[in-house]
Homo-oligomer: A and B are copies of this chain.
Amino acid sequence: MAQKAAPSPEPAPAKDDPLVLIVDDDAGMREAVVDLLQSVGIEGRAFGSTAELLAAAVPDRPGCLILDVRLPGLGGLEFQTRLDSLGIALPIVFMTGFADVPMSVRAMKAGATDFLIKPFRDQDMLDAVDAALARDRSRRSQRAATMTVESLAATLTPREREVMAEVVKGRLNKQIAGDLGISEVTVKLHRGKVMRKMQVRSVADLVRKVEVLDHEE
């Protein structure tokens, strides 16, 4: 209802409330799912095809996808692969009226959160969406942490990065100086700058921050 309404007394859709994207070629089903979600206070936005979804300006909010497997144009499973190669890791709940086991297994192996058969029980869909949203929240917080560290690391000069790498390896200033062919004082200088720029006070904290960095890439 309050899709584009002016400031109202109703609970405004906050920027971080989950948004569920639904793609199904059956308008009735689309509406049913949106209504179902709305009944538990979750905003849904429906599309008739994957192309429509890709064309739309989807806000960056926590959420998930509900896909019909059989779709006009790009099918659900192909779309899943496509999103993956685009680096979009939105959790996916599949739903379909015509499915066989290999199809569902393929989807699950590719990372789908759930795979429901129409007609499904309302509660099953809500449970699946819950699980998908939980997964996305966890992914997003993980991602946010990584990006924070990345932005800090981006302010480092090349030399500082080298020194940081050695510090994290546990090398002594003396050794670092030898490896890089510079004096120990200079190493201490870079090291100090690294600690400040990375906003840590101890080597332990630095190690942990850097860990999350190369853990994800």
- Enumerate chain A interface residues (CB-CB to B < 8 A): 99-105, 108-109, 114-115, 117, 167-171, 200-205, 207-208, 211
Majority SS of interface residues in chain A? Answer: helix
Across the A-B interface, give the 7 residue pairs with the lowest CB-CB distance, nearest first. A170-B202, A170-B204, A108-B108, A207-B207, A105-B115, A101-B104, A170-B205
Q: Are A169 and B117 in contact (CB under 8 A)?
A: no
* Cβ distance A160 to chain B, nearest Cβ, rounded Å: 17
Integer count of this chain's copies in the complex: 2
Q: Are B168 and A204 in contact (CB under 8 A)?
A: yes
* Cβ distance A95 to chain B, nearest Cβ, rounded Å: 11
Q: Are B204 and A167 in contact (CB under 8 A)?
A: yes
* Cβ distance A208 to chain B, nearest Cβ, rounded Å: 7
* Cβ distance A107 to chain B, nearest Cβ, rounded Å: 9
- Residue of B whose beta carbon sits closest to that of A102: B117
What are 15 sample pairs from A and B whose C-beta atoms fall under 8 A apart? A100-B101, A101-B115, A101-B117, A102-B117, A104-B108, A105-B114, A105-B115, A108-B109, A171-B202, A202-B203, A203-B203, A203-B204, A204-B204, A204-B207, A211-B211
